[in-house]
A and B are shown apart, each in its own frame.
Chain A
């Protein structure tokens, strides 16, 4: 079975530009979460989506937005890029019921490496 897939794998953008990152969850998983991992640090929670609805949001500015599609894939959008947005963006899916109750762990993709110059 295919795992969580993310595209693109690498991306270079200039300050002020906009970027869209994409994620396809494991088949049967309805919950998708996004994390930002700055070099040398642990991942930080950005968003969780379940059944196309936002179920959680981390401490990120409004420049960050996301959505989930009927096929449960997801996009993360970042506007007005700053140098500090350079990071590995990780998508994770889980067999969550959406209430947050979980014995179902997160399955992570390999991430998109975003470099802002």
Chain B
């Protein structure tokens, strides 16, 4: 079985500040890990993915995440927050061969203050 825990259902940062969204996973096999973003009344958009290549993964919109096996973590960061980053962020895990069956965390709502 696999699971994802996102620490902090709400995170608030000031524009220009560091964004750090936390994700811890559990998986019985080496996982694939994903971060998705969801804007109001929209579906999910892939930010980045880890599939057993480089542990530091760069995504779209300046986001990146680092896979740390020893900590079972895959935290999402961005050096400088923009107002447009305000959205819901979901961490997800899948385990080959069931690669398309994602288990999502509960989500973190990011708020950006001017």
Contacts and interface: CB of A to CB of B under 8 A. Distances in A.
Could you tell me the dominant secondary structure of chain A's interface residues?
A: loop
Contacts of A45: 101-103
B41 A110 contact: yes
What range describes how many residues of B lie at the interface?
20 to 34
Contact of B101 (A58, A101, A108, A111): A58
B106 A99 contact: no
B34 interface: yes
Given A41-B106, A42-B90, A105-B46, A33 B100 contact: yes
Interface in B40-57: 41-46, 49, 51
Contacts of B36: 108
A43 B90 contact: yes
A100 B107 contact: no
Nearest to A113: B41
A42 B45 CA distance: 14
A94 to B, nearest CB: 6
Contacts of B44: 43, 90, 92, 106, 108
19 contacts: A42-B4, A42-B92, A42-B105, A42-B106, A43-B44, A44-B104, A45-B101, A48-B101, A56-B101, A58-B101, A92-B43, A92-B100, A96-B99, A100-B96, A101-B99, A107-B46, A108-B36, A110-B42, A110-B43
Given A42-B104, A42-B107, A111-B43, 13 more contacts: A42-B105, A43-B90, A45-B101, A48-B100, A92-B43, A96-B100, A100-B97, A101-B99, A102-B51, A102-B94, A108-B36, A109-B43, A110-B41
